[in-house]
Amino acid sequence: MPSMLITGARVVDPASHTDAVMDVLVNDDAIARMEPSIQPPPGAQVIDAHGWVAAPGFVDMHVHLRDPGQTHKEDIFTGCRAAAAGGVTSLLCMPNTTPAIDTPETVQYVKEKSAGADAHVYVCGAISRGLKGDEATDIAALKQAGVIALSDDGRPVKSAAMMAKAMQEAKRLHLTVTAHCEDLPLAAGGIMNDGVVSRELGVPGDPAAAEDVGTAREIALAASLHVPVHICHVSTAVSAAMIRAAQRDGVAVTGETCPHYLLLTEEALRSRDANFRMNPPLRTEKDRLAMIKALQDGTLSAISTDHAPHAPEEKAVFEKAPNGSIGMETSFAASYTALVKTGALSLSSLIEKMSVNPAHLLHIDAGYLSPGGPADIVLLDENEEWVVDPDHLHGKSRNTPFAGMRLTGRVKMTVCGGKIVYDSRQA
């Protein structure tokens, strides 16, 4: 692979506290040099990045690739193409596929198929067989096959006893447990946040308490067993407050939220557009502001997307549609618009929550720019405004809640493993 020289970029690397205009030289799949001025080696590909930001490729620790078994919605290649267009160079694929990622054979299928994809795919194995909560998986065998994390995401682990054993085994094997927190009887089939809007629309509501009760259970297990747990897609002020209090008490609990909880509220569902339906649902303005505060003070250390593709016909009827929205292509712009443009976070802090911290939580070699480190780089124009057009997105599905919205901040180019996997000039 010929050398690549990125010239004149503002390099923002929170891991090394770097924020300076530099050239970045890439040899093969690694960064060779980062200096104020580098002479192009013979035959090097030169990328003029003046006016752009160079940041470590984003790490999305919550992605549904739908492969195997649901490839009419997404597959590993199209999902990674969408990731590349969003600056995501590493992602954790969740196990609620068909069949679930609950055996070494399914893990191997994902690893083999993703070998040539446009992003590094890491595998999250199921805690229970078929995500049904009745029989535990062989966690040691899943680890041997290559999983780096465990979850029953899509559903909560039904049994607290099973969750406790999984958390203990995960600590022993150095795996990350990511917990979908929901009390299903409390949720009771609700399709949006239980509140004023759901009652006005006359549709079943999913109360914030359903998430909060699930969060409380996982925090209690982490505290009593002295094991870590990571809380997925936090959406309520109460859950954020519980995580904050537990952290103050020394409990090893971390959490993430998603861009849609930073920009949108339950008010969006007045349109009866099922692309605004996700689980957990869009909450109130109070909850939205609480997510921003939790990112500001570090209670929530990561931003993930919960990228959940669905076919158009599946989202056609508001009351019957499955939950979930796509998010990788809009994650930086939506987060930048909600957090940096408003002054809630600095650009460096946003990048930290989209790259450095999730890489640290997953214990993977990613999320930083340094000589000798991986050549996973995203080039950004933080000032470009653009309108989200679902027809110009790169995955199979179009179910974005940001359709038609004007966002600020755009991915211009993505380099993964030293190879350009997305170039906006050719998209």
Q: Which residues are catalytic?
A: 306
Contact 217, 160 (CB under 8 A): yes
Count of C-beta atoms within a 10 Å radius of residue 92: 27
The Cα 415–Cα 137 span in angstroms is 36
Q: Tell me, letter by letter, the H, E, C secondary structure of 187-220.
A: HCCCCEECCHHHHHHCCCEECHHHHHHHHHHHHH
Strands 192-193 and 4-13: unpaired
Amino acid identity for residue 424 in this structure = S
Report the distance separating Cα 423 and Cα 427, nearest Å.
Answer: 6
In which residue are the tokens 């992605």 written?
63
What's the burial of 425, exposed, middle or buried (CB within 10 Å: 0-12/13-18/19+)? exposed
Total number of residues shown for the chain = 427
- Copy the structure tokens of residue 29: 């799949």
| Number of H-type helices and E-type strands within the chain | 13, 18
| Beta bridge mates, 9 | 22
Amino acid at 40: P
Give me 51's structure tokens.
């006016």
Residue matched to tokens 């070699």: 365
Degrees to nearest 5, angle at CA 333 with 348 and 350: 20
Helix (H, G, I), strand (E, B) or coil at 32: strand
Q: How far apart are CA 33 and CA 30, in angstroms?
A: 9
Count the alpha carbons within 13 Å of 386 in the hemisphere toward its beta carbon.
20
In DSSP terms, which residues pair with 329 in a beta bridge? Answer: none
Calpha distance 308→62 (Å, rounded): 9
Q: How far is 219 from 252, CA to CA, in rounded Å?
A: 9
Distance of CA 4 to the CA centre of its chain: 28
